[in-house]
Each structure stands twice: as structure tokens, then as C-alpha cells.
């Protein structure tokens, strides 16, 4: 009990200090289209978590999608209106936080391509300014807020899959692991072959469904080898794929977004 | 400019179709998983020993870019240096011209057979088949290429073209096929690797001693000195380069490096990336004809075959930096599962997925158009590439070129109309949040109905959709998918935040 009350006091102190540090900083949540339409609990978890940490996060309602599905399938013209919508939704914010390494990567590395395709110098400038302000959740927590212990409690055996775009495109490194290691009650077990792609790959999962499933099956096998109850990652699209395989196999292994674990507290867990 | 002959094999199915076939081959899956992981681990270990690896990679990329930027100057210089040292230089725009030149040299010497150093470029131009049509037998002397050739097979890897074969299969190929082209395999041949190698050695030795014409490629061509370089492991290359009276080397124009000193960087990058060795066993370097030593007549065929097309591609030209190490194949999760044949080309894997479309162009061949999509864009290939080719970015750019090519063709030829329509409607929906919100309300309705009617749940309790009809079956044939939630995030936010 003493540890709990101690934790709660320190949470409050942390929240107060972050709240003070943030000052007048305007933080927007970019929830992503996949989370908005399919995984609203992840978006809610980000809001709960950031609120608990003293960040007054806003949800710009004009937001839709980052345009990655179009860009990665080769439909650059179709991505132009989507990127314009993205810019008008998030322009003016000091930081944009998103529970997706892949969508953060799209905003930082692909929007310029699309803006150049549109031949719109104003759009090129806008995306160049906005891109660096987009942070994947673990980056935002560790780099912007400077926290690794977010006061979470999750008494389960968990294994972590570092999704490709978080790992290689953004280079989030050990940040998600450090956040997970600080969660009370959580047992983190290493995932064999962790850095190998799960096989989702956006429209690859449909256009090359057979290869995608073959890769997903190997990833699922590695997950089962860990005896974990929960597979956690920073991207719900990858989890939808591996989780789909794990579910079809009746493995009993649940998939959860990192945000949902970090949002879990003793009262709620 | 004549159209380049494609490096892809004629009549190959598109990647998804060929991949499906390959995935069902248990022996292939086992061989590939074992072989790629072994080489991958070896590479990681020896690369880890070099503290300045990242600087080396950057130097390799910079050197190649600089060379490609002044290709006209360096190639002219190379021609001068080679000619001054007694070699005859030929220029070939495409595969047909290059094959013609080699065949003419063979005929001029009444040669009915040639011995070959392992070379990607001669595979690319289909030299063996072209020579066979002229009555000249081209003998592969690299062990793996020998296995592929004797087995009447296709190569499936840049470095280890017989990676899809195991030793039992190799024994069978040697026993049944060796006799037709020379010394037969011993009757009591087992599948012991030492015995297999010895059988190949005895078989090849006769070919080396007999042949009067050697054919090679080159890993590098030094403009300043007129030096050609071949990097190999088995010593068969050294035999082909020194024993015959006449040597013909076919060299892609992107192989030129300006100076001798440039080799320093590449000879450090290549073996560690390729075989996972600190240094390869044989590095042969030769500069034209040396009287009384080695071949007394030398020809060098400088080949375009689509390389100038690739060079004109603003994003894709970086692919011409490639030094054919195959590190990208070994680390690729797609290649690991389907092998090289599924790519339908002598250049498989991630580099093949960009090189083939770049050399040939997109929009007129469904097989080539399918290659840029043969990747999850996981980026592992970029991380290991010794000359920092950003393969994922090139893939994305090529996908746009494929879509654009079909956009320009009316009516759309090979592109599935459904995908284009889906992308257009997604663009419309994502162009305005109100439209997206309406779509989410509709899916929320589905979610509410499904939460009552659905029978299966995902681990954790959420309702699942078991099987979808139509295009959705591509997902649900092997994967469950969560039912849509009753309420989107957007709707929740609006309900709870004023």
C-alpha cells in the first residue's frame, strides 16, 4: 500500500511538473484512420495517458488519414487531397503525437514527395515544417516529456514486437522497451526474431496475401514460443495482422497497443 | 536506341502467383530459411568488427554516385586505358549486340566451347543460350552455377544460385547429368559435401584444360589503369582468366570506378556484405595482355542494356551503385520465404524488385510491374546495403510509375480497376473529415449488429469477423479481423469533449 500511495503521489508530482514544462505548448493527437475507425480504445488510451501525465491534448477534428495507403500503393495523385487535409488539421500545433510509427514515418518522410508531386510550393513548405513536429508515442513520452515511468500497472507476461517503421524508419530504438520495463507487474519476455517484419506491409497484406500470411505465421510461432499472454507493439495495423493469425490459430494470445498498456493503472487493470 | 532485353525470364507468372507456388515447396522453404539465416548471421558478425562501417558505406555510395555522374568521361578513359594495354573494346547497346560480339569472337577462333567465370551480366543477357544457338557450348565453372546448369534449372540467388538445392538433390544432378558434358561423376558418389566438390573439381578440370576461350564479367573496371577485377571464392575464376588463349569480358557500364584507389573501399565492403568473410579467397586483377602470360587476346564488351534508362531515373539511379553482394536478398523476409525463382529474373530479391523495372521500364509487362509490390517496405535491405541504396524509397517511386503508366493507358491494361477505384474513393473520403465520419457511423452500425450476431471473438473478448466474401477473403482466408467498433474514436471524442 505504501508503494501505491507513493506511486500516486509521484504521478501527481510528475503530472504537475510536465504540465508546468509544457507551458502554452499545444499538443495535437493524430489518432490515425485505422485507430479512429477500428481501434478507438487505443486513441482513448493515449488521451487517458497524456491527461494523467498533465498534457492537455487536443483532437483536431478535421484530421482523417496520413495518406500512406495511397503513397505506398503508388497512387500519389490520390494522396494529394489527403495530405492537404492533414496539413490543415495539424498546422499551428507545437507537437503532434500519434500511436503509430508507420503514420509518423509517413508524415515525416513521405509528405514531401506528395507535395512535390502536387507542384505546390506552399504545400512543400507546410509539410516540411510540420513533419519534424510529428512524434510517435514512445518518442513523445521519452524525448518530449522526458518520462519512462508513466505510472502504469499491468500484471501480465508480455512480449514486444518492434514494428519495422518504428525500428528502421524512425529509429525509436529502446524507447518502447524502456517504457514497458517501467510498468509495474509486467513481465517482459524477448521475442525471438523480433526485428523481422511481421508481413503486414499495408496493401501488401492483400496484394501478396500468401506471402504476408506466411510471414505472419512465423511471427505468430515466435510469439507462442515466448508463452506471453499479450503481444504488444506500437502499430495497430501490424497487430491486426499478427493478431488475426494468432486468433485464427486459437492461440489465446491477445494483442494490445503500447498505449493501452501504458494507460493501464492499478484501479483499472 | 534499341529496347533492352529484359533480365527476367520469358513467360514467368506475376510475383504473387509464382510466390504462392514457391510457398508450398517445403524443401525450398527449409533450405532458404537455413541458408539465408546462416549468411545473415555471418555478415552481421564480420560487419560488427568494423567500427567505421557506416563511413565505409557512405564512401562506397559517394564513390559510385560520383562515377555515375561522369560516366561518359570515365568510360572513355577506361576504353583508352584498355586499348593502350592491348585489349579490344566493344560497345553493346543491348543483350543481342553483346551476345553477337561474344559469338563472333568464338567463331573467329573456331571455338565450339567456352569456360565461364560466374557472372551476373552474362546471365542477364542470356549469353549461354545465345552461344548454344550458334553451336558454342558455354560451360559454367562456379560450383553453384554448374549445379544450376547441369540441372537445367534457373538461378535463384545472386551469390549462391543453387541455394534452393540441397546436397541430396545435387548428388542426383551430378550422377545423372555430368556425363553428358564431360567427365562423369563417380559411381559411388555420396552426398558428402567434400565428395560432391571433388566430383565437380575433376569434371571442371578437364573443361578448363580443354577450352581455348574464357568468358567473364567484372566486379569493377578501373578507368585510370584499365584494370578489370573479379572477386570470387573457388578459384575457378582464376582458371578461366589465366588458362585460355582468348578472354572476353562482358562489363556493365555501371561497373566503372575512376581510380585504382577506389577499389580499397569496395574490396572491404563486398566480401563482408556478400559471403560474410573478412576477405574473399581470390581477387583477380588484370590489365590487358601480358606477353607470354595468360590470354594473349582480350576483348571487353561494355554493355548498356537498360543502364542508361535507369541512370535517367531520378530516384532509381541509385540502384546502379549495386555491387551484387546479395546482402539484401539474405536479409529480406519475402525472399527468405519464396526464393529467387518467384521474381522471375536473374536479379531476384529486393535489388531485383527495383533493378528489373528500372532496366526495362514499367507499364508493358505484368510480371515486371508486379515486382515493386513484392515487398512489405520493412527496410531491412536498406540497412544492410553496403552502398546505401534506399530500396524502400525506390520501390515506392516505382509503384507510382506503375500506377502512372497504367493511368496513361486507356483503357487500363493490366491494372486491376477495382484497386484504382478503391484508391479514388478513399482519397475522396479522406479528403474531408465529415465524409469519413459518415463512413464511420455506417461501420459503427455494422459493429453494433455484429456484436449481437457474431459468434467468434478475438483473444481478449472483442468480436471477430471470421470470413469475408469477395476481395476481403484475401485477408480473412487465413486471418481473423476484429468487427468494427460501435463507436469511432472521433464519435467518442465528440460525445465526451463537448
Name which of A73, A199, A247 is nearest B423 (Cβ-Cβ).
A73
Measure B317 CA to nearest chain A CA, in Å: 17
For residue B32, how many other CB atoms are within 10 A of its CB? 24
CB B272 within 8 A of CB B148: no
Judged by a CB distance cut-off of 8 A, whether residue A254 touches chain B is: yes
Judged by a CB distance cut-off of 8 A, whether residue A208 touches chain B is: yes
Judged by a CB distance cut-off of 8 A, whether residue B458 touches chain A is: yes
Q: Which residues contact B324 (CB under 8 A, 6 or more apart)?
A: B120, B158, B159, B219, B274, B351
Is the Cβ pair B19, A211 closer than 8 Å? yes
Check whether A2 has a pLDDT greater than 60: no
At A194-212, the pLDDT tens digits run 999 999 999 999 999 999 9
Residue A202, all three cell numbers: 499495408
Residue B233, all three cell numbers: 571464392
CB B337 within 8 A of CB B35: no
Judged by a CB distance cut-off of 8 A, whether residue A101 touches chain B is: no
ipTM: 0.94
Residue predicted with more confidence, B371 or B454? B371
Residues 276-295 of B with CB under 8 A from A: none
Name which of B372, B443, B478 is nearest A245 (Cβ-Cβ).
B478
Name which of B430, B485, B492 is nearest A33 (Cβ-Cβ).
B430
Check whether B5 has a pLDDT greater than 70: no
Q: What's the pLDDT at B380? A: 98
Alpha carbon of residue A98 to chain centroid: 6
Q: What is the mean pLDDT of chain A?
A: 94
Judged by a CB distance cut-off of 8 A, whether residue A201 touches chain B is: yes
Name which of B379, B407, B439 is nearest A169 (Cβ-Cβ).
B379
Predicted model pTM: 0.95
Check whether B358 has a pLDDT greater than 80: yes
Judged by a CB distance cut-off of 8 A, whether residue B377 touches chain A is: yes
Judged by a CB distance cut-off of 8 A, whether residue A146 touches chain B is: no
Check whether A3 has a pLDDT greater than 50: no
Q: Which residues make beta-bridge pairs with A160?
A: A232
Measure B498 CA to nearest chain A CA, in Å: 12
Binned at pLDDT 50, 70 and 90, residue B8 comes out as confident
Q: Which residues contact A175 (CB under 8 A, 6 or more apart)?
A: A138, A139, A141, A142, A143
Looking at residues B145-169, what average pLDDT do you find? Answer: 93
Q: What's the pLDDT at A6? A: 46
Judged by a CB distance cut-off of 8 A, whether residue B421 touches chain A is: no
Is the Cβ pair B427, A82 closer than 8 Å? yes
Measure B398 CA to nearest chain A CA, in Å: 8
Which residues of chain B lie closer than 8 angstroms to A202, CB-CB? 376-377
At B393-412, the pLDDT tens digits run 999 999 999 999 988 886 65
CB A51 within 8 A of CB A83: no
Check whether A90 has a pLDDT greater than 80: yes
Judged by a CB distance cut-off of 8 A, whether residue A64 touches chain B is: yes
Is the Cβ pair A213, B478 closer than 8 Å? yes
Binned at pLDDT 50, 70 and 90, residue B158 comes out as very high
Q: How far apart are CA A99 and CA A107, in angstroms?
A: 13
Judged by a CB distance cut-off of 8 A, whether residue B432 touches chain A is: yes
Check whether B212 has a pLDDT greater than 60: yes
Binned at pLDDT 50, 70 and 90, residue B415 comes out as low
Q: What's the pLDDT at A24? A: 79
Q: How far apart are CA A19 and CA A11, in angstroms?
A: 12
Q: Cis omega (within 30 of 0) on the bond before B411? A: yes
Q: How far apart are CA B438 and CA B418, in angstroms?
A: 22
Q: How far apart are CA B276 and CA B38, in angstroms?
A: 10
Check whether A267 has a pLDDT greater than 70: yes
Q: Which residues contact B59 (CB under 8 A, 6 or more apart)?
A: B265
Q: How far apart are CA A259 and CA A45, in angstroms?
A: 6
Is the Cβ pair A63, B433 closer than 8 Å? yes
Q: What's the pLDDT at B9? A: 81
Best interface-test mutation with A: which of B338, B459, B487 has the largest number of A CBs within 10 A?
A: B459
Residue B447, all three cell numbers: 459493429
CA nearest B377 in A: which residue?
Answer: A201
Looking at residues B224-230, what average pLDDT do you find? Answer: 98
Which residue from B138, B145, B78, B76 is spatially nearest to B102, judged by alpha carbons?
A: B138
Name which of A209, A216, A247 is nearest B458 (Cβ-Cβ).
A247
Which residue from A78, A48, A49 is spatially nearest to A65, judged by alpha carbons?
A: A78
Best interface-test mutation with B: which of A32, A44, A66, A74 has the largest number of B CBs within 10 A?
A: A74
Looking at residues A225-240, what average pLDDT do you find? Answer: 98
Which residue from A193, A214, A196 is spatially nearest to A205, judged by alpha carbons?
A: A214
Name which of A85, A195, A202 is nearest B430 (Cβ-Cβ).
A85
Q: What's the pLDDT at A8? A: 52
Measure A129 CA to nearest chain B CA, in Å: 21
Residue predicted with more confidence, A37 or B418? A37
Binned at pLDDT 50, 70 and 90, residue B1 comes out as very low
Looking at residues B118-145, what average pLDDT do you find? Answer: 97
Check whether A4 has a pLDDT greater than 70: no
Q: How far apart are CA B280 and CA B47, in angstroms?
A: 14
Number of inter-chain CB pairs under 8 A, A vs B: 217
Residues 461-490 of B with CB under 8 A from A: 464, 471, 474-475, 477-482, 484-485, 487-490
Which residue from A214, A203, A249 is spatially nearest to B21, judged by alpha carbons?
A: A214
Which residues of chain A lie closer than 8 angstroms to B490, CB-CB? 31, 36, 59, 61
Judged by a CB distance cut-off of 8 A, whether residue B430 touches chain A is: yes
Amino acid at each position: 500500500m505504501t508503494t501505491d500511495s507513493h506511486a500516486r503521489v509521484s504521478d501527481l508530482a510528475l503530472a504537475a511538473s510536465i504540465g508546468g514544462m509544457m507551458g502554452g505548448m499545444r499538443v495535437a493527437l493524430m489518432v490515425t484512420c485505422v485507430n479512429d475507425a477500428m481501434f478507438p480504445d487505443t486513441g482513448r488510451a493515449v488521451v487517458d495517458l497524456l491527461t494523467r501525465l498533465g498534457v492537455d491534448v487536443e483532437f483536431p477534428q478535421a484530421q482523417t488519414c496520413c495518406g500512406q495507403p495511397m503513397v505506398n500503393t503508388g497512387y500519389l495523385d490520390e494522396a494529394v487531397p489527403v495530405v492537404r487535409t492533414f496539413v490543415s488539421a495539424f498546422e499551428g500545433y507545437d507537437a503532434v503525437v500519434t500511436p503509430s510509427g508507420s503514420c509518423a514515418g509517413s508524415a515525416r518522410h513521405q509528405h514531401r514527395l506528395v507535395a512535390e508531386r502536387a507542384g505546390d510550393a506552399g504545400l512543400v513548405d507546410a509539410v516540411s515544417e510540420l513533419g519534424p513536429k510529428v512524434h510517435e508515442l514512445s518518442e513523445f513520452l521519452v524525448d518530449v516529456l522526458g518520462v519512462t515511468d508513466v505510472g502504469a500497472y499491468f500484471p501480465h507476461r508480455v512480449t514486444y514486437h518492434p514494428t519495422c517503421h518504428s525500428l528502421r524508419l524512425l529509429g525509436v530504438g529502446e524507447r518502447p522497451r524502456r517504457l514497458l520495463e517501467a510498468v509495474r507487474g509486467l513481465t517482459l519476455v524477448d521475442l525471438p526474431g523480433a526485428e523481422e517484419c511481421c508481413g503486414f506491409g499495408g496493401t501488401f497484406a492483400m496484394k501478396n496475401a500468401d506471402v504476408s500470411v506466411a510471414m505472419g505465421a512465423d511471427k505468430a510461432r515466435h510469439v507462442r514460443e515466448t508463452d506471453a499472454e499479450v503481444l504488444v507493439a506500437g502499430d495497430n495495423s501490424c497487430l491486426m495482422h499478427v493478431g488475426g493469425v494468432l486468433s485464427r490459430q486459437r492461440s489465446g494470445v491477445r494483442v494490445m497497443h503500447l498505449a493501452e498498456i501504458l494507460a493501464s493503472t492499478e484501479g483499472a487493470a | 536506341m534499341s529496347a533492352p532485353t529484359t533480365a527476367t525470364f520469358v513467360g514467368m507468372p506475376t510475383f504473387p502467383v509464382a510466390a504462392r507456388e514457391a510457398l508450398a515447396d517445403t524443401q525450398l522453404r527449409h533450405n532458404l530459411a537455413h541458408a539465408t539465416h546462416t549468411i545473415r548471421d555471418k555478415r552481421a558478425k564480420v560487419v560488427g568488427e568494423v567500427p567505421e562501417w557506416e563511413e565505409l558505406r557512405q564512401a562506397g555510395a559517394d564513390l559510385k554516385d560520383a562515377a555515375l555522374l561522369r560516366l561518359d568521361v570515365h568510360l572513355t578513359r577506361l576504353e583508352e586505358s584498355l586499348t593502350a594495354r592491348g585489349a579490344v573494346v566493344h560497345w553493346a547497346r543491348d543483350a543481342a549486340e553483346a551476345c553477337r560480339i561474344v559469338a563472333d569472337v568464338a567463331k573467329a577462333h573456331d571455338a565450339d566451347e567456352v569456360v565461364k567465370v560466374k557472372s551476373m551480366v552474362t546471365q542477364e543477357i542470356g549469353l549461354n543460350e545465345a552461344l548454344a544457338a550458334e553451336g558454342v557450348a558455354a560451360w559454367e565453372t562456379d560450383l553453384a552455377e554448374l549445379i544450376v546448369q547441369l540441372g537445367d534449372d534457373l538461378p535463384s540467388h545472386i551469390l549462391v544460385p543453387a541455394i534452393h538445392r540441397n546436397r541430396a538433390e545435387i548428388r542426383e544432378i551430378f550422377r545423372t547429368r555430368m556425363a553428358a558434358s564431360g567427365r562423369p561423376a563417380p559411381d559411388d558418389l555420396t552426398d558428402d559435401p567434400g565428395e560432391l566438390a571433388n566430383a565437380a573439381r575433376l569434371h571442371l578440370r578437364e573443361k578448363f584444360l580443354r577450352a581455348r576461350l574464357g568468358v567473364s564479367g567484372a566486379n569493377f573496371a578501373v578507368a585510370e589503369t584499365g584494370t578489370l577485377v573479379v572477386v570470387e571464392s573457388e578459384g575457378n575464376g582464376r582458371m578461366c582468366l589465366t588458362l585460355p588463349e582468348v578472354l572476353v569480358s562482358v562489363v556493365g557500364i555501371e561497373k566503372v570506378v575512376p581510380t585504382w584507389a577506389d577499389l580499397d573501399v569496395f574490396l572491404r565492403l563486398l566480401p563482408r556484405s556478400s559471403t560474410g568473410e573478412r576477405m574473399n579467397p581470390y581477387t583477380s586483377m588484370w590489365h590487358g595482355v601480358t606477353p607470354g602470360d595468360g590470354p594473349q587476346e582480350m576483348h571487353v564488351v561494355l554493355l548498356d542494356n537498360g543502364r542508361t534508362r535507369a541512370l535517367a531515373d531520378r530516384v532509381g539511379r541509385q540502384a546502379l551503385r549495386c555491387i551484387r553482394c546479395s546482402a539484401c536478398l539474405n536479409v529480406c523476409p519475402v525472399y527468405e520465404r519464396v526464393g529467387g525463382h518467384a521474381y522471375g529474373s536473374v536479379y531476384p530479391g529486393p535489388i531485383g524488385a527495383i533493378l528489373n523495372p528500372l532496366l526495362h521500364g514499367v507499364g508493358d509487362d505484368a510480371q515486371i510491374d508486379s515486382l515493386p509490390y513484392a515487398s512489405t517496405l520493412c527496410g531491412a535491405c536498406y540497412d544492410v546495403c553496403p552502398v546505401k541504396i534506399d530500396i524502400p524509397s525506390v520501390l515506392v517511386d516505382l509503384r507510382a510509375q506503375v500506377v502512372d503508366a497504367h493511368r496513361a493507358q486507356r483503357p487500363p491494361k493490366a491494372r486491376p480497376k477495382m484497386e484504382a477505384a478503391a484508391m479514388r474513393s478513399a482519397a475522396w473520403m479522406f479528403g474531408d473529415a465529415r465524409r469519413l465520419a459518415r463512413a464511420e457511423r455506417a461501420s459503427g452500425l455494422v459493429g453494433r449488429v455484429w456484436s449481437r450476431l457474431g459468434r467468434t471473438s478475438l483473444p481478449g473478448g472483442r468480436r471477430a469477423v471470421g470470413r469475408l466474401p469477395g476481395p476481403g477473403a484475401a485477408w480473412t482466408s487465413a486471418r481473423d479481423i476484429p468487427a468494427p467498433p460501435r463507436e469511432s474514436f472521433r464519435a467518442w471524442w465528440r460525445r465526451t469533449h463537448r
